[in-house]
Amino acid sequence: MLKTAISFRSTYFRRLWGTVLREYSTGHETGERQIDSVASLTATAERLGTPKILGHHIVTEECLNSIVGDRAYHELPVLHILAKRNNIFATLTDCNGRVLSKSSCGAEGFRNAQKKTTVASQTLGISIGLKAQKLGISSVRVKMRGLGPNRLSTLSGASLAGLQLVSLTDDTNVHYGHGRRPRKPPRK
């Protein structure tokens, strides 16, 4: 059972990354890398010699200097996804952090326990993707925060809306448990 779940997860991520990222090919006279055709991420990463952590390739400096479409990688807009236990928030910002568009499952019309469903998070992804298309944005970087359910269904909704997801970054804070204990309540 566990082996089946692991193989399903690895094929899902392989399929997701294969459609998300583009193959590197030599670009302009400046020697920059240009991303222009869809190919397997693993073949491209092995050709470039990028390091692997737990079977996933990580971003190198060569990727940071690449050109995606008509923009440099560091100039791409960023899609921030905050996945809490009962709701998911999505914010689209430019490369400097100015908010271009924002939405949540509650803002999309889902109430109470419906906000944490897969349908709600996929609807949120489609909504934020269509808002990005109206602003003329076709490719974004993604930063996810939180361990809530349905983070990936928000990504699939955004890609269904036509957004090209260039990179995925997990920015979840880690709590090490060294905080102070709560105050003792006063005696009555």
Residue 39 forms part of a structural domain: yes
The verdict on residue 180 lying in a domain is: no
Task: Note the pLDDT of residue 10.
Answer: 53
Domain that holds residue 17: 11-74
Give me the numbers of helices (H) and strands (E) for the chain, helices first please. 5, 11
Overall domain count for the chain = 2
Domain holding 126: CATH number? 3.30.420.80
Is residue 90 in some structural domain?
yes
Joined together, the tokens standing for residue 104 give 């949540």
109 inside domain? yes
Q: Nearest 5 degrees, angle CA 156-CA 161-CA 162?
A: 100
Residue 166 confidence (pLDDT): 87
pLDDT tens digits, 25-60? 333 334 444 444 334 445 555 666 666 665 566 666
pLDDT tens-digit series, residues 66-93: 777 788 888 899 999 999 999 999 999 9
Considering the domain architecture, whether residues 57 and 139 belong to the same structural domain is answered as no
Q: Is the same domain home to 70 and 107?
A: no
